[in-house]
Amino acid sequence: MLDDLIVPFSEFAFMRRALVACIALSLGAGPIGVFLILRRMSLMGDALAHAVLPGAAIGYAIGGLSLAAMGIGGLIAGLAVALLSGFAARTAAIREDASFACFYLISLALGVLIVSVRGGGVDLMHMLFGSVLAVDQTALRLIAAIASASVLGLAILWRGLVAESVDPSFLRVAGVGAAIHAAFLALVVLNLVAGFQTLGTLLAIAMMILPAAAARFWAIEIWSVCAIAILVASLSSYGGLLLSYHAHLPSGPAIVLFAGTIYAFSLIFGRHGSVASRRFHGLHHQATGHPT
């Protein structure tokens, strides 16, 4: 039994690399997801992941299948979309989500165009999006570097992010709000670029949102929600890889579904605001004669 839990990782280096990559990603992606949710930007990750495509495709056209060329291209494209749509929303009369949708659609179409025209060879979509089983030493270093940068960046931005999440008008008055917002979006793009090139798009976004959403049902303070999100993400990485190993399932979806199961469980049984806790409180109040 214990063997089943450890041997896959002790015997195969690719399993260890996949696990380390996922856990490293969890460190940054967990808290970033928490703030995405707090700022009502949960779907932004999805949009940004597609916005990255043209940059990565241009990077591929110039530098071939190199993590650096595609990463830098993707980073530039993602940041451009994030900053442009933020800028448009702040200066013109368009809401940020609508602005985001417009810029990401333009970017996505551009990406598909470049991929198709440049295409010819191997299916570029496969090339642009990674697989957790193909993580090599270079990819691992990239993920580790980005995880470190994310943790550092979050530490610096922490006070501002928390303050703005609680009361958006607070920092807008002070004028630092825009700077914090931009820096935060840069962190999101950075994590997405690292994540989807090495682990796959689905996995990269899921590692941000699902653990964070699940964690919200177990804690109140933002720091503890972040800690639980990291924990859930790491656990999902381990559980998903193990599931993929023993049940012969594709690894990326297995990890995401593991996190999804934890989310569903939290949604129903969590301590704060879950289905069960609300029901329980409702009954409790009725019994004591204090309907809410």
Partner 1 sequence: MKPFINALAIIWSILFPSAAPVLAQVNVVASFSILADMTREIGGDRVSVTSLVGPNSDAHAFQPTPDDARRIAHANLVVVNGLGFEGWLNRLVRASGTRASVITASTGIEVLLMEEEEEHKAAERMRRKVIKPAKVDDPHAWQSLANGRVYATNIAKALIELDPPNATHYRQRLDAYLSELTALDEWVRRELSRIPAEHRKVITSHDAFRYFGRTYGIAFLAPQGVSTDSEPSSGDIANLIQQIRRNDIKAIFIENISDRRIIDQLTRETGTTVGGTLYSDALSAANGPAATYIAMFRHNVALIVSAIRKN
- Give the interface with partner 1 as residue ranges (CB under 8 A): 8, 11-15, 18, 116, 119-123, 125-127, 130-131, 133-136, 241, 244-254
Token look-up 């008008």 returns 169
- Cα 224 to Cα 34, 215, 221, distances in angstroms: 10, 8, 5
**Smallest gap, in angstroms, from Cβ of residue 34 to partner 1?**
28
Q: Measured from the CB of residue 244, what is the shortest distance to partner 1 in angstroms?
A: 4
To the nearest whole angstrom, how small is the minimum distance from the Cβ of residue 258 to partner 1? 13
- Cβ closer to partner 1: 119 or 282? 119
Q: How far apart are CA 106 and CA 223, in angstroms?
A: 36
**Residue 51 vs 199, nearer CB to partner 1:** 199
For residues 152 and 158, what is the distance between their CA atoms, to the nearest angstrom?
A: 10
* Minimum CB distance to partner 1, residue 64 (Å): 12
State which residue, 26 or 237, has the beta carbon closest to partner 1: 237
Locus of tokens 């004028």: 175
Alpha-carbon distances of 62 from 52, 68, 81, rounded to whole Å: 16, 11, 21
* Separation between Cα atoms, residue 253 and residue 206, nearest integer Å: 10
Between 8 and 270, name the residue whose CB sits nearer to partner 1: 8
CA distance 274 to 176: 35
Q: Report the b/e string of 198-231 with b at 16+ CB within 10 A.
A: bbbbbbbbbbbbbbbbbbbbbbeebeebbbbbbb
Q: Which residue, chain included where needed, has tokens 């591929």?
A: 60
Please identify, using beta-carbon distances, which residue of 56 and 185 lies nearer to partner 1.
56
Q: Between residues 126 and 290, which has the closer beta carbon with respect to partner 1?
A: 126
Minimum distance between the CB of residue 91 and partner 1, rounded to whole angstroms?
Answer: 38
C-alpha closest to that of 256 among 275, 243, 271: 243
Backbone φ and ψ of 136, nearest 5°: -110, -175
Residue 125 CB, nearest distance to partner 1 (Å)? 7
| CB 223, min distance to partner 1, A | 33
Residue with smaller CB distance to partner 1, 45 or 240? 240
Residue 95 DSSP class: -
